[in-house]
Amino acid sequence: MSRTSAPPDLAQIFEPIRDDLASVERQFASHIESRVELIPEIGRYIQLSGGKRVRPAVLLMCARIGGYRGEAATLYAAVVEFIHTATLVHDDMIDDAGVRRGREAVHSRWGNDITVLLGDYLYIKSMGMALTVDSLELVRLLCEVTLRMIEGELYQLTKTGVVDLTEEEHLEIIRRKTAYLFGGCGQIGAILGDLPEAQQLALRDYGFNLGIAFQLVDDLLDYTADEDVLGKPVGGDIREGKMTLPAIYLLQQDSGRARPLLESMVQGRLFSPDAWAELRGLMAEHQVIEKAYERAVSFAEAAKQQLASFPLTPEIDALMALPDYVLSRDR
């Protein structure tokens, strides 16, 4: 896919599981109910703010590949969405990000104390939901994935403000914070579909590579997107002291001019329109956005390769289209 290509239509990609995704939405709303009125109030606020639902969709389609159409798939898809939502509300608070998907972030609206407890509630609620299905294997998998995500957040915090971050260190953050959950979705769906172990691992690796591509594109959008379309300010990573691939590649190619600029922005948190314009100018000069995009393409292609051994079905077609959507999205 070209960076200028129009994104494939996500609703069309998800057509084979449209009804199941609607069921996931209902389950999310149902399980967020509580006698403590604030919990469903915030839950509805989060749900109405949108989201692509790519993770639950991967789980549902992988289950369908094995012929599974039972209620456990939509339940686990809702569990995954609970876990993902918990990480979002905690991450926004840690990063002091005021906007998420064009609306106030939860911590900005309700405060840090409530947001910490809400994230904890969502994590515990997700595991309680998972335990209603008699499969300790899947609960253990979800616990492992969640622990990796928390480790990723902690690891990223130790690297905040570090200008000399390596590409491998950045990819390790992405693997833990993003890719393991995507991979877990593929694996859970495959287990529900009772697929052979080799196919379970292939769908896990599909999700894992898709997750890395997804996050690398997300990093790029922080430099290239339209703020109104993206739903949050651009330049957020640099403001928060985070080096991502474009900045890492720029430092490799132009340590003379780029280093003092990045040190002032990443270490010193001195962000200004002039510094931002200079940084983007250097990135354009050295074509690091294009280089980072090609890295995302390599992971998207690796995801597709995991599907080569599967017979063609509407679900496989949809999974094949998802990496193209990820590469061409603008938000």
10-328 to CATH, choices 1.10.600.10, 1.20.810.10, 3.10.20.30, 3.40.50.300:
1.10.600.10
Q: Which residues contact 149 (CB under 8 A, 6 or more apart)?
A: 83, 87, 176, 177, 180, 181
The residue-averaged pLDDT of 60-79 equals 95
The residue-averaged pLDDT of 45-65 equals 90
Q: What is the pLDDT of residues 178-208, one digit of tens each?
A: 999 999 999 999 999 999 999 999 999 999 9
pLDDT at site 34: 86
User: Does pLDDT of 56 surpass 80?
Assistant: yes
Tokens of 256: 């003379």
Q: How far is CA 187 from CA 27, 141, 183, 195, 201, in A?
A: 21, 9, 6, 10, 7
User: Does pLDDT of 69 surpass 50?
Assistant: yes
Percent helix, strand, coil in the chain, to 5, is 75, 0, 25
Q: How far is CA 247 from CA 254, 259, 331, in A?
A: 10, 10, 20
The residue-averaged pLDDT of 264-273 equals 92
Mean pLDDT of the chain: 91
Polymer length in residues for the chain: 331
Q: Please compute Rg for the chain using Cα positions.
A: 20
User: Does pLDDT of 121 surpass 50?
Assistant: yes
Confidence band (pLDDT; 50, 70, 90) for 48?
confident
User: Does pLDDT of 26 surpass 70?
Assistant: yes
Distance CA(65)–CA(193), nearest Å, equals 7
pLDDT at site 2: 43
Confidence band (pLDDT; 50, 70, 90) for 6?
low
Nearest 10 degrees: CA dihedral of 66, 72, 76, 82?
150
Q: How far is CA 88 from CA 107, 150, 260, in A?
A: 11, 12, 32
Confidence band (pLDDT; 50, 70, 90) for 3?
very low
Distance CA(142)–CA(233), nearest Å, equals 32
Q: Are 314 and 57 in contact (CB under 8 A)?
A: no
Distance CA(186)–CA(241), nearest Å, equals 32
Residue in 99, 165, 157, 88 with CA at minimum distance from that of residue 122? 88
DSSP-derived secondary structure letter, 100: E
Distance CA(34)–CA(155), nearest Å, equals 33
Q: What is the pLDDT of residues 300-321, one digit of tens each?
A: 999 999 999 999 999 999 999 9
pLDDT at site 4: 42
pLDDT at site 195: 97
User: Does pLDDT of 139 surpass 90?
Assistant: yes
Report the share of the chain in percent with pLDDT over 70. Answer: 95
The residue-averaged pLDDT of 151-159 equals 95
User: Does pLDDT of 226 surpass 80?
Assistant: no
pLDDT at site 1: 41
pLDDT at site 135: 85
Tokens of 43: 């839950």
pLDDT at site 230: 67
* In the chain, where the domains are located: 10-328
pLDDT at site 255: 72
pLDDT at site 229: 67
Q: How many CA atoms lie less than 13 Å away from 12 in the CB half-sphere? A: 7
pLDDT at site 158: 96
User: Does pLDDT of 173 surpass 90?
Assistant: yes
